[in-house]
């Protein structure tokens, strides 16, 4: 058993160590805080962080749901007592005490009409000079600044900030926040435009498929009605399934398996027309069949191989389709031994400078780049008399792309 003197010495030593550890931790924390930079750096970071939080709610444009959630963060950016986001006719969102000021729509209308940032003081807020309801006598908001949200040449709404005194700094800040909101709306409209463009491209593909292929397919079916009624009936069923898939009205994406199934029907109908002249070889890795791809991104390439590669060729022709695993990607190739095409002509087609033939190639190339980025367009190797090899690589894992 230790003596009291030794006990006291041990306790004292432990206390010294504890104080030293606390001091060391405090030093590290202080140092880490300093590592964040100056007060100005920390303020900049906080501003960017708050803007990022608000931005996620404006990705679909200036909607009531998004505006209501973004208002809280935008009020934090401006430091105002109440913040209001309006559209042309409605208060879309606000943050602060009570209900949105009843002057908001009237002040927003004046601001949108002028197209400039407006400051309103005292009895300008309401005709009878009352402060906005819901703020209370102790929290009167006698001044406000409204800035227009200008998207290109259109004023689509306003940002309004209510506070006890509108200083010049708040006027500038509100104007900048309105400009930032306008940028978010423009980005949302760009996303919508890209989606509409993709839908238009698919409609263009369907229009391309229908006149040429349907005419040939029906002629081929008709040729078997008298000589081989059973085969004619099977071809009608395949034709119905193919057109049902190609002209479906929902879903921008499908699976590789579904697209290949449609291609199989297409080639079955084309073989009925070409007979022994057309040979098809498939090499498909089962591990890539579930990969999600843009709807009608393979069938136009196969049709291009048949129409422009083999129809103009004398004698038999072959189409080889492969789909294989390539790490994080599924790689698909479509090759024909047809007539090929001039590389300069191909570049003009892909650049949109050539009309008529090979529209499907450009259509698919544009949509792949829209979905996956510029580096994911078609890779095409061709030359006159040397056939054509088309390669595309799509990510196997795309959580944002859902097959409907």
CA 337/CA 249 separation, integer angstroms: 34
Cβ(162)–Cβ(101) below 8 Å: yes
Cα separation, 339 vs 17, in Å, equals 85
Q: What do you get for the CA distance between the two ends of the chain, in Å?
A: 78
Q: How far is CA 49 from the centre of its chain?
A: 22
**C-beta of residue 166 within 8 angstroms of C-beta of residue 143:** yes
Q: Is-contact 331 324, C-beta < 8 A?
A: yes
Q: How large a percentage of the chain has pLDDT more than 70?
A: 71
Q: Which residues pair with 120 in a beta bridge?
A: 144
For residue 255, the SS3 value is strand
What's the pLDDT score for residue 27?
39
Nearest to 364 by CA among 299, 305, 309, 315: 299
User: Could you say which residues of the chain have pLDDT below 50?
Assistant: 1-33, 128-129, 131-132, 135-139, 210, 399-404
**N residues, the chain:** 404
DSSP label of 57: T
Instruction: Give dist(CA 154, CA 59) in Å, integer.
Output: 19
Q: To which residue do tokens 């920390």 refer?
A: 42
364 with 378: CB under 8 angstroms? yes
3-state SS of the chain: helix, strand, coil percent to 5? 55, 20, 25
Vertex 352 angle, CA 347 and 355, to 5°: 100
Residue 6, pLDDT score: 38
Task: Tell me the C-alpha distance between 149 and 74, whole Å.
Answer: 14
- Is 10 strand, coil or helix? helix
CB 103, CB 142: distance < 8 Å: no
């Amino acid at each position: 058993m230790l003596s009291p003197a030794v006990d006291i010495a041990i306790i004292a030593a432990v206390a010294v160590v504890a104080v030293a550890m606390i001091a060391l931790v405090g030093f590290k924390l202080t140092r880490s805080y300093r590592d964040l930079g100056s007060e100005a750096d920390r303020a900049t970071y906080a501003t960017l962080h708050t803007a990022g939080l608000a931005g996620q709610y404006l990705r679909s444009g200036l909607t009531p749901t998004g505006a209501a959630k973004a208002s809280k963060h935008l009020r934090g950016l401006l430091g105002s007592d109440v913040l209001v986001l309006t559209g042309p006719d409605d208060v879309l969102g606000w943050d602060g005490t009570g209900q949105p000021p009843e002057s908001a729509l009237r002040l927003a209308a004046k601001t949108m009409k002028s197209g400039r940032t407006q400051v309103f003081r005292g009895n300008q807020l309401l005709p009878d000079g009352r402060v906005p309801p819901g703020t209370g006598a102790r929290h009167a908001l006698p001044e406000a600044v409204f800035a227009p949200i200008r998207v290109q040449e259109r004023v689509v709404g306003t940002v309004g900030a209510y506070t006890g005194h509108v200083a010049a700094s708040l006027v500038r800040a509100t104007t900048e926040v309105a400009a930032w909101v306008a940028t978010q709306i423009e980005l949302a409209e760009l996303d919508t435009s890209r989606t509409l463009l993709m839908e238009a491209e698919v409609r263009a593909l369907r229009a391309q498929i229908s006149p040429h292929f349907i005419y040939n397919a029906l002629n081929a079916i008709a040729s078997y009605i008298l000589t081989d009624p059973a085969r004619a009936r099977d071809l009608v069923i395949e034709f119905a399934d193919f057109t049902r898939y190609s002209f479906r009205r929902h879903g921008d994406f499908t699976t590789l398996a579904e697209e290949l199934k449609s291609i199989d029907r297409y080639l079955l109908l084309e073989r009925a027309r070409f007979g022994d002249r057309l040979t098809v070889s498939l090499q498909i890795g089962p591990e890539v069949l579930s990969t999600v791809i843009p709807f009608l991104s393979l069938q136009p390439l196969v049709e291009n191989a048949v129409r422009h590669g083999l129809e103009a060729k004398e004698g038999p022709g072959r189409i080889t389709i492969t789909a294989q695993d390539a790490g994080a990607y599924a790689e698909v190739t479509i090759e024909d031994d047809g007539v090929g095409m001039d590389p300069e002509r191909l570049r003009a087609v892909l650049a949109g400078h050539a009309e008529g033939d090979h529209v499907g190639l450009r259509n698919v190339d544009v949509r792949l780049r829209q979905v996956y980025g510029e580096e994911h367009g078609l890779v095409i190797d061709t030359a006159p008399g040397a056939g054509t090899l088309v390669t595309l690589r799509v990510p196997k894992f795309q959580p944002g792309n859902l097959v409907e």
